[in-house]
């Protein structure tokens, strides 16, 4: 090493599995006990690097190639941005589902405009016994999703 240069040593610790949220939080911050679920989502604000807590989402089941839509429920992310309990045990059926995220309402609550008024993620559950995780990463100008594990 040259004169005036310092050595930087990094030590990495293995990450532990994140703890599942103990409580869900409604729109006014009131606690709601979570329900075990085969379907979960995690909503993160990539612009601020924090969970998107004030975002309302709705779960729908699509029938007849999307011509019929049945709302199964709605939720708000907990303080960690997670939404456990979207489909209670025994209610998961193979088929097509849609998660509707009210992005405009969430950004408006923070005094910010959004290019996308909402995000819809349509996906298929093929095996009723598998857990499905559908995260949403968003900013006021973009969003992305993937099939999480």
Q: What tens digit of pLDDT does each residue of 31-81 get?
A: 444 456 789 999 999 999 999 988 999 999 998 877 899 999 999 999 999
Q: How would residue 9 be classed by pLDDT, with cut points 50, 70 and 90?
A: very low
Q: What is the pLDDT of residue 149?
A: 75
Which contiguous run of DSSP H or E holds residue 73?
A: strand 68-75
Pairing of strands 132-133, 39-45: parallel
CB distance 134 to 101 below 8 Å:
no
Percent of the chain with pLDDT over 70: 76
């Amino acid at each position: 090493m040259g004169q005036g240069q310092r050595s930087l040593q990094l030590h990495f610790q293995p990450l532990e599995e994140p703890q599942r949220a103990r409580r869900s939080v409604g729109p006014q911050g009131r606690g709601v006990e979570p329900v075990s679920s085969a379907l979960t989502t995690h909503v993160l604000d990539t612009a601020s690097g924090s969970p998107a807590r004030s975002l309302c989402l709705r779960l729908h089941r699509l029938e007849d190639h999307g011509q019929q839509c049945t709302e199964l429920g709605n939720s708000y992310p907990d303080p960690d941005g997670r939404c456990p309990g979207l489909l209670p045990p025994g209610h998961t059926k193979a088929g097509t589902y849609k998660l509707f995220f009210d992005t405009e309402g969430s950004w408006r609550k923070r005094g910010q405009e959004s290019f996308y008024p909402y995000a819809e993620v349509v996906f298929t559950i093929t095996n009723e016994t598998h857990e499905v995780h559908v995260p949403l990463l968003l900013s006021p100008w973009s969003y992305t999703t993937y099939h999480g594990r």
